[in-house]
Structure 1
Amino acid sequence: MTETSFFTITTTQQWLWRGYPICYQSQGDNGPAVVLVHGFGASCGHWRKNLPELATHCRVYAIDLLGFGGSAKPTPSNEISYTFETWGQQIGDFCREVVGGPAFLVGNSIGCIAAMQAAVDNRDMVLGVALINCSLRLLHERRQQNISWGRRVGAQIMQQLLSVRWFGRWFYRQVAQPKSVRKILLQAYQRPEAVTDELVDLIMKPAREPEAADVFLAFTRYSQGPLPEDLLPKLPCPAMVIWGTADPWEPVDMGRELATFDTVERFVPVEGMGHCPQDEAPELVNPILAEWIASHSDGAYRTGPSDYCF
């Protein structure tokens, strides 16, 4: 099947992982491999403004995590859970079986945690990790110790309510509406013109699938697992952090603290942008990513000293 994006027509392909169909897109025939990992509620289509540009010098793949986009959405069970360990292994196996070797991983939001987990658990498959507005997991049980009593109790009550099936499904139906999705995006983005009908449709299409509610509710109740600061010191590869400084959900000052880890080579602020600067300001983010990837590829994929100036 094909999907029309803002920049090009990209063929969506399928890969079978542990018996579950996984969707991905790819472009580029030469250069280092790059795997793009979306955030919560998004899909490989969220990289439609980045994949073609990066593919001019790289072999680029954008993957739908299990439970999102066009990938399978199995009901959570003892056999399958929506955790970073699950997604990390999915990404590692994708590099082995589809990419055919090590790759640079680029994540946005929770995709950053999944990418780092993949690097920690699959040390031979990851060349570097670029984190774009990494999820700080502010609702994590360890984070809640540092917030006010009222906010902590409120978050815990909401998580308990969402565990009640009828309430959780009712809540999901309120959120999974075009008007609600657009309102949320307008909070996350600082350029309102970037919140297009195309973007809303990209999120709404998989959200309408019957199984999507169970995935949404499973993850909103997930307050365990790793934090960024748990994974960063374990990385076997270099990392770069990119941050939209006007992100209303992941404070840039907390993001800057990630740059204190030895594995982080640089912190690049994208001034005035929100939670998804790769989609909101691709003309700023694409050169940053391309230059960093080239710098770790022995310069073999640069065609001139000014190719990636920014």
Structure 2
Amino acid sequence: MTTTSAIALNPTKTWFWQGFPICYQTQGTTGPAVVLVHGFGASWGHWRKNIPSLATNCRVFAIDLLGFGDSAKPTPGEKISYNFETWAQQIADFCREIIQEPAILVGNSIGCIAVMQTAVSYPDTARGVALINCSLRLLHDSKLQNLPWLRRAGAPLLQKILSIKAVGRFFFHQIARPNTVKKILLQAYGSPQAVTDELVDILMQPAADPGAADVFLAFTAYSSGPLPEELLPKLPCPAIILWGTADPWEPIELGRELGDFPAVMKFIPLEGVGHCPQDEAPEIVNLILQDWIWEMNRAIDRKV
């Protein structure tokens, strides 16, 4: 992935997982391991403003989930399903094979569900999880009845229409355009200044890859699987939650309820920030994560 950012980053690396090339970025040589996991449609580049700062005291790894960024985008089928169980296994295997020790897992949006599923299914790979504007999965089958009737009826109908390959691919190519992507980002971000051409380019480049449309359609049809309120009670490690108060997609009023689970050590609202605080307000997010990682290390050292 090529970016125009002035922030110094290392060349990306490739790890082969189940025969598929997986792209990741890494920086830092000392301290605890931290794995950064992006949200839907994004990639490791969404953490470009966080990696150098965290790498001053940590070994940072930002991974492209299978189907996204510069990682492989195999056609969904019998061998590969684009769901949280698949991504959890990918993250866990990455910790075991590349990092070779448990890591602190940090996610944004659907990346939060992926890191929680990793910690629950593979507790030996996670020392803690940080959730940034966690996806509440409001279009999940079990939550449709709580939506206004128009959205309750419209969501399954749209999924059915998009399941027609020709229609779905046409729809994907209509939204995978720079102007459309920029409009979507301007809705999601609290600060318009954070929606730069570089950010649009980071999201646009993988959309041109063969298979990108099929991955998009496979996930839009995925309305089952784990919910955050199902995973948090099972979490075997401490958690912290950060939430931009201006997020139009994942309301903080609902997000606050996640802070009531025993595993959650802190719930920190970020005033005026939208769905992707790590990119919109990196100077705030970086400090919070650094302090929390330091606290985690002290707690572990005391136990040892």
The TM-score range, normalised by the shorter chain, is over 0.9
2-side partners of 1:13 and 1:267: how far apart? 34
Instruction: Report what 1:150 is aligned to.
Output: 150
Task: Tell me the CA shift for residue 149 of structure 1.
Answer: 2.2
SS class of match (2:123): coil
In structure 2, list runs of 5 or more residues that go unmatched.
Answer: none
For residues 123 and 160 of structure 1, do their structure 2 counterparts lie closer, same or farther at Cα, with a shift above 3 Å needed?
same
Point out 4+ residue stretches in structure 1 off by more than 6 angstroms: none
1-side partners of 2:210 and 2:148: how far apart? 36
Instruction: Report what 1:105 is aligned to.
Output: 105
Which of the two has greater helix per residue?
Answer: 2
Q: Is the 8 A contact 1:3 1:9 kept in 2?
A: no
2-side partners of 1:202 and 1:243: how far apart? 23
Superposition pairs of residues 1-310 of structure 1, within 5 angstroms: 5-298=5-298
SS class of match (2:236): coil
Task: Tell me the CA shift for residue 146 of structure 1.
Answer: 1.0
Q: Is the 8 A contact 2:73 2:210 kept in 1?
A: no
SS class of match (2:210): coil
Task: Tell me the CA shift for residue 221 of structure 1.
Answer: 0.6
1-side partners of 2:7 and 2:244: how far apart? 23
Equivalent position amino acid for 2:217 in 1? L
Task: Tell me the CA shift for residue 7 of structure 1.
Answer: 1.2
2-side partners of 1:228 and 1:123: how far apart? 17
2-side partners of 1:5 and 1:17: how far apart? 29
1-side partners of 2:123 and 2:300: how far apart? 23
SS class of match (1:104): strand
For residues 300 and 89 of structure 1, do their structure 2 counterparts lie closer, same or farther at Cα, with a shift above 3 Å needed?
closer
Equivalent position amino acid for 1:167 in 2? V
SS class of match (1:275): coil
Task: Tell me the CA shift for residue 157 of structure 1.
Answer: 0.6
2-side partners of 1:42 and 1:6: how far apart? 20
SS class of match (1:243): strand
Q: Is the 8 A contact 2:9 2:52 kept in 1?
A: no
Q: Is the 8 A contact 1:87 1:114 kept in 2?
A: yes
The alignment of Structure 1 onto Structure 2 pairs a total of residues equal to: 301
In structure 1, list runs of 5 or more residues that go unmatched.
Answer: 302-310
1-side partners of 2:148 and 2:280: how far apart? 32
Task: Tell me the CA shift for residue 100 of structure 1.
Answer: 1.1
Q: Is the 8 A contact 1:2 1:10 kept in 2?
A: no
Equivalent position amino acid for 1:134 in 2? C
SS class of match (2:56): coil
Instruction: Report what 1:308 is aligned to.
Output: none
Q: Is the 8 A contact 1:4 1:10 kept in 2?
A: no
TM-score (norm 1): 0.95
For residues 241 and 267 of structure 1, do their structure 2 counterparts lie closer, same or farther at Cα, with a shift above 3 Å needed?
same
Task: Tell me the CA shift for residue 43 of structure 1.
Answer: 0.1
